[in-house]
Structure 1
Amino acid sequence: MKTPVLLAAILLLPASVASVGTGVPLAPITTGATARAAGPGQAGMPTTAARPGARASWQWPLAPRPEVLRGFDPPPKPWLSGHRGVDLGTAGAGTEVHAPAAGTVSFAGVVVDRPVITIDHGGGLRSSFEPVESTLPQGAAVAAGQVIGTVLPGHCPPAQCLHWGVRDGGDYVNPLQFVLDLRPSILLPLAGGP
């Protein structure tokens, strides 16, 4: 590849292709069949075609922008084990969790042994966070960016993290598609090039 073409290819890559913090590869991910590819030291992330027009539209649930400690890695079959969300690094217990988009609290309680809060954003989209202590009752309206609770210890020991999952209808989808533009880059020929 000629040097100007290579340089143009690098300059056209979106910022979302850059590292999210731990070398977790970013790829367009929604529902459907998955293909796994992981290099040494990378968490395997399934890849499928992105929804038409999928782009970043929500905000991160933690501020400042957190490190992604573990990526989205759903199982090939719904009944198998997998990672149906992302784990985001926090400053520790007590870190504020913000609503990534406006919605209504559809659940606030304990699931198995962890406190969970779920927000229904409408259109079939629901996001869940754990372990999060919240005083918001079921049915409470929340605005984008509003504090919905605080992180409790217990997930990702010894580091502290927040697990963020998103469902679109009955399917788990990659939460990162709502805060990063995960669409593939398209390289165009340079004017006057071969």
Structure 2
Amino acid sequence: MTLQQTSQHMAFDGTHQAVTSCYRFRPPLLFLLFMVVLMMVSTPPPATANPSQPQITRSTHPASPHTGHPTGFTNPVTRLPRPNRVLRTFNKPAKNWLPGHRGVDLEAAPTDPIYAAGDGTVIYAGILAGIPTVSIEHPGGLRTTYQPVLPLVAVGDTVTGQQPIGTLAPGGTHGYPGLQWGAKFGADDYINPLTLLPAPVIRLKPPPSA
């Protein structure tokens, strides 16, 4: 075998090995490219906002810890299971920092006795932001607040429903007369305290006989 033939043979062998290597590695490479193309095709494009349809957002505010209002409460002014005259209604604001009315104002006169609306423990009895205040924590995490009330109880006292807790102070609350009665769960989950009272029972009288 001549030197030229040997070189040609070696060149043929090298080309053959390169071609063999190329075909040896081409299937994985083709498979990888196929998977990339498949992912690009199967991935949907990001949704764009449609100005003609309203966007729905979900509140991130945590759910209330209670599933229903406690029962057995009475009016802190009259000790009856129904409200007396309401001077200012409950008006919970949409956001906690917005103005509103987080309680109800019940008609009462200075020096009138004020009673605990239900069983509980006194957690505050003193001056709060310049207003004499009594707060009671009830079972289930409910707290009721009474303003302006000169306390007859102290922090830590256990009280029962309809027990006197103080007398209505003169001057009202923020310029409004009467007793401001508030109720809430947790730090800021205010509820209408009138919902603690039993729902009124409506009875229909029979029509007069002809």
Pairwise TM-score range, normalised by the shorter structure: 0.5 to 0.7
Q: Which amino acid aligns with 2:159?
A: V
Task: Give the alignment of 1:64-83 within 5 angstroms.
Answer: 65-83=83-101
Q: Where in structure 1 are there 5+ consecutive unaligned residues? A: 1-32, 34-50, 186-194
125-134 vs 160-169, which deviates more?
160-169
Name which of 50, 58, 75 aligns with 2:73: 58
Tell me the alpha carbon deviations over residues 138-190 of structure 1, each in whole angstroms, 9 at most, x when there is no partner.
000101110000001112698730000001123010000001428xx9xxxxx
Going by fraction, where is helix more abundant, 1 or 2?
2
More strand by share: 1
Runs of 4+ aligned residues of structure 1 deviating over 4 Å after TM superposition are: 51-56, 156-159
Give the match for residue 113 of structure 1. Answer: 130
Alignment size in residue pairs: 133
- Larger CA Rg, structure 1 vs 2: 2
Counterpart position of 2:153: 136
Decide whether the 8 Å contact of 1:54 with 1:181 is kept in 2.
no
AA paired with 1:116?
A: T
CA distance in 2, matches of 1:166, 1:157: 18
The one of the two structures with greater contact order (alpha-carbon pairs below 8 A, sep at least 6) is 1
Q: What is the CA deviation profile of residues 112-137 of structure 1, one whole-angstrom value per residue up to 9, with x for unaligned ones?
A: 11100000012110000000001311
Q: TM-score, normalised by structure 1?
A: 0.62
Shift in alpha-carbon separation, 1:79–1:145, aligned structure 2, 3 A: same
Check whether the contact 1:105–1:138 (CA below 8 A) recurs between aligned residues: yes
Name stretches of at least 5 consecutive residues in structure 2 with no aligned partner: 1-58, 60-65, 203-210
**Which residue of the partner structure matches residue 98 of structure 1?**
115
In the TM superposition, residue 72 of structure 1 has moved relative to its aligned partner by: 0.6
Q: Give the alignment's TM-score, normalised by structure 2.
A: 0.57
Q: Give the fraction of aligned pairs with identical amino acids, expressed as a percent.
A: 37
- Partner of residue 176, structure 1: 194
Q: Report the AA paired with residue 122 of structure 2.
A: V
